[in-house]
A and B are shown apart, each in its own frame.
Chain A
Amino acid sequence: MSKLLEVSGLNAYYGNTQALFGIDFSLEEGSVTAILGANGAGKTTTLRALCQITRTTGSIKLDGQELAGKSTERIVRLGVGHVPDGRGTFTGLTTEENLRLGAITRRDRAEVSLDLERMYARFPRLKERRHQQAGTLSGGEQQMLAISRALMLRPRLLLLDEPSFGLAPLIVVEIYRILREINEQDKVSMLLVEQNASIALDLAHEAYLLETGRVAVSGPSETIKGDETIRRSYLGY
Chain B
Amino acid sequence: MEGFIHQVVSGLATGSIYAAVGLALVMIYQSTHHLNFAQGEMAMFSTFIAWALLEKGWPYWAAFFVTIAASFILGFVVQRLFLRPVEKAPVLTNVIVFIGLLVIFNSVAGWIFDYTIKPFQSPFPKDAWFSTRFFSAHEVGSMSVTFCVLLALYVFFRFTPVGLAMRAAAQNPDSARLVGIRVSMMLAVGWGLAAAIGSVAGMMIAPVVFLDPNMMSGILLYGFAAALLGGIDNPWGAVIGGLIVGVLENLLGAYVIGTELKLSVALVMIVGVLTLKPSGLFGKVVVTRV
Contact = CB atoms under 8 A, between A and B. Distances in A.
Nearest to B158: A97
8 contacts: A73-B183, A76-B179, A84-B174, A90-B168, A91-B172, A104-B161, A104-B181, A149-B179
B168 A101 contact: yes
Contact of B172 (A88, A102, A104): A88
Interface of A: 51, 53, 72-73, 76-77, 82, 84, 88-93, 97, 100-102, 104-105, 149, 153
B57 interface: no
Interface residues of B, number: 17
Classify the secondary structure of A's interface with B. Answer: loop
B178 A90 contact: no
B177 interface: yes
Contacts of A93: 164, 167-168, 171
Contacts of B179: 76, 101-102, 104-105, 149, 153
B174 A88 contact: yes
Classify the secondary structure of B's interface with A. Answer: helix
A209 B269 CA distance: 60
Contacts of A76: 177-180
B182 interface: yes
A91 B171 CA distance: 8
B171 A104 contact: no
Given A90-B171, A90-B172, A91-B171, A97 B178 contact: no
Interface core residue of B161, B168, B178 (most chain A CB under 10 Å): B178
B164 A100 contact: yes
A210 B15 CA distance: 61
Given A88-B174, A90-B171, A92-B171, A97 B180 contact: no
A77 B180 contact: yes
B97 interface: no
Interface core residue of A53, A84, A97, A101 (most chain B CB under 10 Å): A101
Nearest to A149: B179
A80 B121 CA distance: 55
Contacts of A104: 161, 164-165, 168, 179-181
Contacts of A153: 179-180
Interface core residue of A73, A82, A100, A105 (most chain B CB under 10 Å): A73
A149 B180 CA distance: 12
B176 to A, nearest CB: 8
A78 to B, nearest CB: 9
